[in-house]
Amino acid sequence: MSSAQLEIQLIASLVAIACAIPGTFLVLRKMAMISDAISHSILPGIVIGFFITQDLNSPLLIVLAALTGVITVVLVEQIQKTGLVKEDTAIGLVFPALFSIGVIMIAKNANDVHLDVDAVLLGELAFAPFDRLLISGIDVGPKSLWIIGTILLITVGLLFAFFKELKLSTFDAGLAASLGFSPVAIHYGLMTVSSITTVGAFDAVGAILVVALMIAPAASAYLLTTDLKKMLFLSILFGVFSAISGYWVAHWLDASIAGSITTMLGLLFLVVYLFAPSKGLIAVMYREKQQKIEVSLLTFLLHLKNHNEENERHVNHLREHINWQKIRAKTVVDLALKNNMITIDNQIVSLTEKGDDFTSQAIDYIITNEDAQIEDMKDDFFLFRG
Amino acid sequence: MSNKIAVQVDDLTVAYNYKPVLWDIDLEIPEGVLMAIVGPNGAGKSTLIKSILGILKPIAGSVSIYGKSYDKQRSLVAYVPQKGSVDWDFPTTALDVVMMGTYGSLGWIKRPGQKQKKAALEALEQVGMLPFKNRQISQLSGGQQQRIFLARALVQDASIYFMDEPFQGVDATTEIAIINILKALRKANKTVIVVHHDLQTVPEYFDWVTFLNVKKIATGPVKDIFNDDNLTKTYGINYKVSIHK
């Protein structure tokens, strides 16, 4: 591995981490689309900054772009506040307007600046190692590495300082306000960090893909954990994994690095979406199937409880009485037998004491909806897991 | 109940998009009462609480808590928002939500420690939710979620408690458990203000009541003012006609 390759992977990984942190909070605040809006509408900020400094890595450019990002959020909120349109419409109105201003500014001055729409949309990570930062003539590494490194350091610092405030205002803005933690200040703080991170990542992965780096790792992590700290950690892990594996996929396929990273993010989400232990598609389908069987079991037990007549409890007549198909009836009878809830004596099915208790408790729960009654049953049966 | 005034509201007017939802409210809530705020949907009950707590900015009027502005008296006040106002799929546990009640006393940046954790566990115990402390909040029933919210307010150890429909969507056992805790708070000379929907239980649960429908209709002891006259004024057809003019 050459040092340029190493540098590219390092930059991509730092970008992924810097995006995953604000991304986690954006996902939890249901503001994923805001990151899309910011990533596009900071373009005029970047272009103006570039015109002034003639340098894509100038700090002024980052400041101006971040400012445009915050302006985007303010505009979206103001339009939404009129009550005439909903938030998604407001976002759809604001960012294309700002983005197109940026595109026109680039086009008007395309002859004398080295900034083109392709680079803005997709970034050019492969060229990042060529732009070196020189301090009194000594090469200290690629400029983008220093920029994203600085942004990441600030983001991590803010996260550690304000983790409690971010969590509270994301979960319950009303309580945050009543306790004196201004949710508005925290909101704009998060928006500023998101904007700055977007500008930092922009150079590496471009406007479209930065959204994927913010949202996909967080969305995947959300399906896997019920702990905010773990969610942050997993988002970062997924981001870095996609950055490095994406780089090598691009290397082997001789394709765009940014495109490969995003493809890896998409694949990662797909895998998590299918196989996540409790929220994944397969787990949900399995649970629903179990619930169906357990409802059947309960129906069957209730039938036994309600009928003392032997003809109602004869194993061969059960099917007609409950109106089930053969396979389903067999599954249910087997399940009941396995759990010692029924006995079959001479073809006559009877409830055991356990089966009788279980039925009363379950019916009681369904009628009263009081959780205390079924706490000890929750581990055995899907039906009661809410 | 003492003679001290816990909460005083003067000429409070609140508007959404220039449409007043609360109009010129004057209200004095004495210390140590358990008060229900009743009124029809859209009467401004939640808005009143949120304005007192500084969550909404009124267009006119003022609020004082024991004679000083809310900003200065934050530590004396605990708030239980409507259960539906938060996302219960948020990745956190019951204990962690209760810990949030301690954030106010910590202030910015400082992290909760063992002391805060101990207080949160005690509050969970008080509402009978200790066995569920590590459960993810989406895995709790509606009644259990409401108890968690109550525990989060208890952990603040405040003098005044504001609760927005704490009985909404809870089972009968939880309702009794909650009202017993509220009555215990009143016994300890705390002031408890509850947005309430079920008129039938007002005389049984509360000793003080405020009738509200955009304007304040009446406020005072339940035994004196909880009558047909005030109910008609608050919920009655005539009144509705007059405000829509």
Q: What does the pLDDT look like over A247-297, one tens digit per residue?
A: 999 999 998 888 899 999 999 999 999 999 988 999 999 988 888 888 888
| Tokens, residue A142 | 């690629």
Task: Report whether pLDDT(B149) > 90.
Answer: yes
For β-strands B5-16 and A348-351, DSSP reports them as: unpaired
Residue B33 is predicted with a pLDDT of 96
Give the CA count within 13 Å in the CB-facing half-sphere of A85: 13
User: What are the DSSP calls for A101-134, one per residue?
Assistant: HHHHHHHHTTTT-S--HHHHHH--GGGGGGSEEE
- Domain end, chosen from A278, A297, A328, is at A278
Residues of chain A with Cβ-Cβ distance to B81 below 8 Å are: 172, 174-175
Identity of residue A95: F
Task: Verify that A365 and A225 share a domain, yes or no.
Answer: no
> CA dist A120 to A102, A116, A216, A222, A256, Å?
10, 6, 21, 30, 14
To the nearest whole angstrom, how far is the Cα of B238 from the nearest Cα of chain A?
30
Identity of residue A192: T
Closest CA in chain B for residue A159: B109
Question: Distance between CA B183 and CA B190 in Å, rounded?
Answer: 9
Residue B27 is predicted with a pLDDT of 95
Task: Verify that A212 and A290 share a domain, yes or no.
Answer: no
Question: Distance between CA A46 and CA A200 in Å, rounded?
Answer: 11
| Tokens, residue A143 | 């400029």
Residues of chain B with Cβ-Cβ distance to A24 below 8 Å are: none
Could A222 and B85 be called an inter-chain contact, meaning their C-beta atoms sit closer than 8 Å? no
Task: Verify that A186 and A328 share a domain, yes or no.
Answer: no
Of residues A276, A65, A315, the one with CA closest to residue A191: A65
* CATH number for position A296: 1.10.10.10
Enumerate the β-bridge partners of residue B34. Answer: B192
- Domain end, chosen from A215, A250, A278, is at A278
Task: Report whether pLDDT(B143) > 80.
Answer: yes
* CATH number for position A186: 1.10.3470.10
Mutate one of B90, B133, B144 to test the A interface: name it (highest A CB count within 10 A): B90
Task: Verify that A345 and A375 share a domain, yes or no.
Answer: yes
Number of domains comprising chain A:
2
Structural domain of A301: 282-385
* CA distance from start to end of chain A: 51
Nearest 5°: CA angle at B226, between B225 and B231?
A: 110
CA B124 from centroid of its chain's CA atoms: 19
Task: Verify that A153 and A295 share a domain, yes or no.
Answer: no
Nearest to B91 among A178, A228, A369 (CB): A228
Q: Are A371 and A364 in contact (CB under 8 A)?
A: no
Residue B58 is predicted with a pLDDT of 93
Residues of chain A with Cβ-Cβ distance to B85 below 8 Å are: 172, 174
Nearest to B104 among A179, A225, A385 (CB): A179
Task: Verify that A241 and A326 share a domain, yes or no.
Answer: no
Task: Verify that A109 and A161 share a domain, yes or no.
Answer: yes
Task: Verify that A286 and A156 share a domain, yes or no.
Answer: no
- Domain end, chosen from A278, A298, A322, is at A278
Task: Verify that A268 and A287 share a domain, yes or no.
Answer: no
| Residue count (chain A) | 386
Could B87 and A368 be called an inter-chain contact, meaning their C-beta atoms sit closer than 8 Å? no
Q: 10-residue block means of pLDDT along chain A (386 residues)?
A: 89 95 96 90 87 79 89 92 88 93 82 64 78 84 89 96 97 94 94 90 78 95 95 98 96 91 95 93 90 82 81 74 74 82 82 84 71 60 54
Task: Verify that A103 and A23 share a domain, yes or no.
Answer: yes
To the nearest whole angstrom, how far is the Cα of B209 from the nearest Cα of chain A?
23
Residue A386 is predicted with a pLDDT of 45
Residue A282 is predicted with a pLDDT of 94
Question: Distance between CA A70 and CA A276 in Å, rounded?
Answer: 35
Task: Verify that A215 and A159 share a domain, yes or no.
Answer: yes
Nearest to A168 among B100, B141, B144 (CB): B100
pLDDT tens for residues A285-302?
998 888 888 888 888 888
Task: Verify that A33 and A105 share a domain, yes or no.
Answer: yes
